Chains A and B, each alone.
Chain A
Amino acid sequence: MSGSATRDRRESFGDDGGARARILARVTRATTLRDRLRHPGRLESPAPPDPAATFVKRFTSQGGEVATPDPDRSPRDWLTSFLEGLGDDVTTIAIGADVPTRLQPRSPDVPPADAGTAREESPGQLHYLIAPAVSRNSVEPMRHVAPAAQAAVGVSLAWGAVAETGSLILPSTGTRAVQLLPPVHIVWVPADRVFARLEDALIELQPRLPAGVGLHSGPSKSADIGQTVVTGVHGPGRSIAVLEG
């Protein structure tokens, strides 16, 4: 066995110019020491039979909730009454930049197209904060973080969902602060994009990967204090998926 006992790690101090070449040279030398081993190909794991049903089962078993829209009403009418049903203290809703108008809640006073504005209204009445549909680079930095931090509910659009792991796939073309800061997160899921396996979803997503993707597989939780599970530690404490279409 070769000994590495005496090497002083501090010898590596120096300008960063050499680091890449040195590391790659050492790695290359190491790979000449043994046979090059082959990639085993894809992991063969069975696909769950009914993706939508499996997603609902998995997501709820992980603490997520699934709400079913009323087929006789428009999605936005259904969402408006669903939000009203969440309680009188739920007055501020943050809506992701990529949520289309037909999936935004209705408000008689604030037209949803009025992006980025918040309006004080009488208590008990919903008002909406719509994240600006542009990247932070070109707007005031805190503009969409601050409203989402005040909101009781965030509404997002998922790119898809995964049955195998009970996951929502949330792209950064939505608004990250809306996906993460409000204590309740309502997520529209296109019903025709519930993938059986995680691998299927990632391969489908691969050619159009945005800067960031979040897989949300239930509410935020932690057992770091006395091994007792608590929810809503940093992210949403309630995660509600709504299959649409």
Chain B
Amino acid sequence: MSARIGDYATRSREAIRNHPEVRTAVTGATVAFDEKRRRAYGEVDADLWRRWAEAVKNHLLTHLGDYLVEAEARLEANGAHVHWARGADEAREIVLELASRHSVRSVVKGKSMLTEEVELNPALERAGIEVYETDLGEYILQLLDEPPSHIVGPAIHKTLEQVQRLFADRLETDPGGDPDELARAARGVLRDAFINADMGITGGNFLVAETGTVALIENEGNIRLTTSLPRVHVALVGIEKLLPRMSDLAGFLQLTSRAATGQSIGCFVSLVQGPAAAPGDDGPEEVHVILVDNGRTDVLVHEHAWEALRCVRCGACLNTCPVYRQTGGHAYGWVYSGPIGSVLDPGLLGLHEAMPLPFASSLCGACFDACPVRIPIPELLLAWREEAQQQGLTPWKERAALAGLANVATRPPLYRLAGRVGTRLGAARAARKLPMLGDWSNDRSLPSPSPRTFRQLWREGIK
């Protein structure tokens, strides 16, 4: 999906005013996810696990070159092919080239945010290849031609009634069909797709350098099938997804599952080392791993934002975020939404492209408490805001207001005057007249001001 972040505010307003069902569905789903995550954290020493995971990823990111080379060597020793892609276009070209070499007519896909990021599906379709998203949520969205709205639950913004209408129309199910019947109908279509597909395409939750293992977590079994039945498996993996050792993977599989869905581990985990080469081994004839940069090295050199590359895409920060819960992910305008999107997108796309996402937060800090790798999201939001201010990317009203404030605050006589005017007029009324504060106070009640200024109180002695 191409980025169109600019009108975040307009899309948020539209979502809240015109699609109240989205807010209801998203809030319901995220509150449930968040409660499960809290319970699952409570069952282990979550603080210890999170600090450990943070340290492993920090080690990885400060030795990334070494581990990329090690992963490549291991994968090749396992019989897999390794490709490198700097940008989205290179990633697409590599996949298209492989598809053409294998005369691929039909592809089954596991859910992958990276393939959304590089806009792979439209490129495959333009090449005349049939693409089946096989995660049930992704399949629903593919039928609707919508992008995912959540990293883990791509269709959480859809209600049962909407899926009933869609499937009745497209799969001829009963219009009142329950989720079981609807899932069975989708299973029927996708089962044929699995058996007939020439190529399976997935992302990768982790890539273990030590063993050349691409690890994938899921609940439906569709990724197991995607990596098992077709002749060719292609995995697109962001370069930050590496882990040094197999023993690290054990901790990350569990921590990610607990953070994402509150499970001790996803129902299915696929560990892909390479093609079935040895006699008696079963699986694809060819395995290709595409290591994708697409902006990640820009984030890695950034003084603060590099910490966002620890992200394991669990969605815990989305689930706990009071801002995300109001609109769901589509308002954000790109693949990565919610708190992590607001700090990652400016790094991946450039700050100018990602404005105003660093401002789409109340800085309540819940995202940091939920994050399994302790990304300091509130601090990173502030760092991006500061950078936006320095680059002149903030709205003129805000810049004018801050310049005005600086003017008043550095001139004591003016400050005294402003204080007195504020108390006489009533701050609530005064605020409405001021740039920026006016917008802010439209939807909020301001407290009544004290009848005397702080300076007066100070002189009289505060009792």
B8 at interface (Cβ–Cβ under 8 A)? no
CB distance from B123 to the nearest CB of A (A): 14
Across the interface, name the chain A residue whose C-beta is closest to B60.
A39
Pair B302/A1 contact, Cβ less than 8 Å: yes
Contacts A33-B301, A37-B55, A228-B160: A180 and B228 contacting too (C-beta < 8 A)?
yes
Contacts A27-B65, A27-B297, A211-B273: A236 and B221 contacting too (C-beta < 8 A)?
yes
Pair B136/A222 contact, Cβ less than 8 Å: yes
B94 at interface (Cβ–Cβ under 8 A)? yes
For the complex, count residues of B whose C-beta is within 8 A of A: 126
For the complex, count residues of A whose C-beta is within 8 A of B: 96
Which residues of chain A (190-207) have a CB below 8 Å from chain B?
197-199, 202-203, 206
B319 at interface (Cβ–Cβ under 8 A)? no
Which residues of chain B are near A197, meaning CB under 8 Å? Answer: 250
Which residues of chain A are near B445, meaning CB under 8 Å? Answer: none
B295 at interface (Cβ–Cβ under 8 A)? yes
Pair B65/A1 contact, Cβ less than 8 Å: no
Which residues of chain B are near A245, meaning CB under 8 Å? Answer: none
Which residues of chain B are near A210, meaning CB under 8 Å? Answer: 273, 278, 281
Q: Which of A29, A58, A222 contacts B219, CB < 8 Å?
A: A222
B147 at interface (Cβ–Cβ under 8 A)? no
Pair A23/B86 contact, Cβ less than 8 Å: yes
B409 at interface (Cβ–Cβ under 8 A)? no
Which residues of chain B (401-449) have a CB below 8 Å from chain A?
none
Which residues of chain B are near A43, meaning CB under 8 Å? Answer: 48-49, 52, 250-251
Pair A24/B283 contact, Cβ less than 8 Å: no
CB distance from B28 to the nearest CB of A (A): 7
Which of A34, A210, A228 has the most chain B CB atoms closer than 10 A to its own CB?
A: A210
Q: A172 CA to B271 CA in the complex, in Å? A: 10
A95 at interface (Cβ–Cβ under 8 A)? no
Pair B62/A211 contact, Cβ less than 8 Å: no
CB distance from B24 to the nearest CB of A (A): 11
Pair B221/A136 contact, Cβ less than 8 Å: no
Pair B140/A224 contact, Cβ less than 8 Å: yes
B239 at interface (Cβ–Cβ under 8 A)? yes
Which residues of chain A (1-21) have a CB below 8 Å from chain B?
1-7, 9-10, 12-14, 16, 19-20
Q: How many inter-chain residue pairs (CB < 8 Å) link A and B? A: 331
Pair A36/B86 contact, Cβ less than 8 Å: no
Contacts A19-B90, A176-B283, A234-B134: A31 and B219 contacting too (C-beta < 8 A)?
no
B11 at interface (Cβ–Cβ under 8 A)? no
A38 at interface (Cβ–Cβ under 8 A)? yes
Pair A211/B267 contact, Cβ less than 8 Å: no
CB distance from A4 to the nearest CB of B (A): 4
Q: A226 CA to B178 CA in the complex, in Å? A: 10
Pair B228/A176 contact, Cβ less than 8 Å: yes
Which residues of chain B are near A213, meaning CB under 8 Å? Answer: 270-271, 273
A26 at interface (Cβ–Cβ under 8 A)? yes
Q: Which of A78-86, A122-130, A141-149 contacts B (4 or more CB under 8 A)?
A: A141-149
CB distance from B91 to the nearest CB of A (A): 10
State the main secondary structure of chain A at its contact with B: loop
Pair B220/A222 contact, Cβ less than 8 Å: yes
A99 at interface (Cβ–Cβ under 8 A)? no
B149 at interface (Cβ–Cβ under 8 A)? no
B180 at interface (Cβ–Cβ under 8 A)? yes
Q: A33 CA to B278 CA in the complex, in Å? A: 44
Q: A226 CA to B187 CA in the complex, in Å? A: 17
Which residues of chain B are near A27, meaning CB under 8 Å? Answer: 64-65, 68, 239, 297, 300
Which residues of chain A are near B393, meaning CB under 8 Å? Answer: 5
Pair A3/B351 contact, Cβ less than 8 Å: yes
Q: Which of A2, A14, A142 contacts B303, CB < 8 Å?
A: A2
Q: A9 CA to B84 CA in the complex, in Å? A: 15
Pair B268/A217 contact, Cβ less than 8 Å: yes
Q: A141 CA to B198 CA in the complex, in Å? A: 11
Q: A180 CA to B387 CA in the complex, in Å? A: 50
Q: Which of A12, A45, A135, A226 contacts B160, CB < 8 Å?
A: A226
B253 at interface (Cβ–Cβ under 8 A)? yes
Which residues of chain A are near B195, meaning CB under 8 Å? Answer: 142, 145-146, 149
Pair B391/A180 contact, Cβ less than 8 Å: no
CB distance from B106 to the nearest CB of A (A): 14
What 7 additional pairs, Cβ within 8 angstroms, besides A31-B62, A40-B51, A42-B247? A2-B301, A5-B353, A12-B86, A173-B280, A211-B273, A221-B220, A222-B220
Which 5 A-B pairs have CB atoms at the shortest separation, nearest pair first?
A235-B221, A226-B160, A199-B250, A224-B137, A12-B87
A interface residue numbers (CB < 8 A to B): 1-7, 9-10, 12-14, 16, 19-20, 22-24, 26-31, 33-40, 42-45, 58, 62, 97-98, 133-137, 141-142, 144-146, 149, 164-167, 172-177, 179-181, 197-199, 202-203, 206, 209-228, 230, 232-236
CB pairs A–B below 8 angstroms (19 shown): A1-B383, A5-B352, A6-B350, A16-B84, A23-B297, A31-B64, A36-B63, A39-B55, A40-B59, A42-B247, A43-B49, A141-B231, A149-B191, A166-B265, A167-B269, A174-B282, A216-B268, A219-B267, A233-B183
